[in-house]
Structures are given as C-alpha cells and as structure tokens.
Structure 1
Amino acid sequence: MFTEDISAFFSTADFATTASFAGGADVPVIFDAAAVQGSVGPLGMVSAMPAITLPSAQVPASPVGVIVVVTVDGATVSYVVADAQPDGTGITRLLLEVA
C-alpha cells in the first residue's frame, strides 16, 4: 500500500507554525484564520474562523474542548477546539474558538 509523506507540508521552515495542546508537546500545524461571510440581515456579517490543519496521528483522542496554544509570527493565542474534521487521508482540520 502506498503511504504519502506529508512531512514537507508541516515544516516550520516553510508552511507551518507551532501549536501545543494542553499537556502535550509542540506540534507543527498550518494555521488559517480566513474571513467567513455570513447571511445576517441585508448587509451580512464577516468574522474570522481560525483553524489548524495537522496530521491526524498528532490529534488528541478527543480533541473537542481541548485548549491549544498557537504561535503565529511570534505571538501566542489560546484557542479551544470546537470541531474536528478528519479528511480520511491522514490530515485533520480543527476548527478553533478563542479561549
């Protein structure tokens, strides 16, 4: 069976940054805080939807509700994992809320 080497995508020298789960070690992740537009009245509303993408093998067993600290450009922010979205290929996206 073919196994893809995804380690290049999670290199902190290129794409990734560092995150640490409560009680765990540092993990390289891809952080994204894209703006999302919602339909709220005639004008709508835009908010940020922070998320991290990481190898599924490095996701805690029950990630929802776990605190994760993400370091981006030297600043650290604490988040709570709101949802886990494994894609079936060994990658998981964790949706975050500010703690």
Structure 2
Amino acid sequence: KNGSNNTFIPRALATGNCDVLFDAEVLEVRDGARSASVTLIASTSTPPVELTVIGEVVVVSSGAVETPRLLLASGIGNDQLGRHLHDHRVVTILGTTE
C-alpha cells in the first residue's frame, strides 16, 4: 500500500530541498510575503531547544484537528478554517442468540 511515508516524503527528501523534523512541537507558523517560518521546540535535544526555521514553503500536516488549531493559534486563516469537520460514527453490536 502506498502512503506518504513511501511516496511523497522520499521524493521530497531526494530533491535536497526539503528537511523533515521529527519529535518537535510547533509553537507558531508565520506566513510572510517572501518566506515562511516555524517556531518549534526540538524535543530530541537535551534539554529541549526552541528554534525558528525559515523557508520558502512550510508544509503543515498535523491532521484534521491539529492543523486548523495551529493555524488559528498562529493568526493564519479565515472564518472557514476549522469548520465543516465531519465524523462518521459507527456503532457495532455483537451478540449471540439461542
């Protein structure tokens, strides 16, 4: 099965124009006219270190709940950001009869 771990991420890393940071907590995303930046806490450092990373593009992929939360907390977005999230609830009942 294909997923981002064996399709998009390896291709992006192969260009040499991409860095992936693991085990980091993003505090803020800033979107500027010519660049974007992310302020984060690198948890892999001992003690943890606060860093600001600047680049032409920042990709935020924190899921359907955390991505809007982070962008709204950073002051990025409009009145539609974070709306229209739908959940599909499923109830399964199993039993036996005689």
TM range (shorter): under 0.3
Normalising to structure 1: TM-score of the pair?
0.27
Greater Rg by CA: 2
Determine which structure has the larger strand proportion and give its number. 1
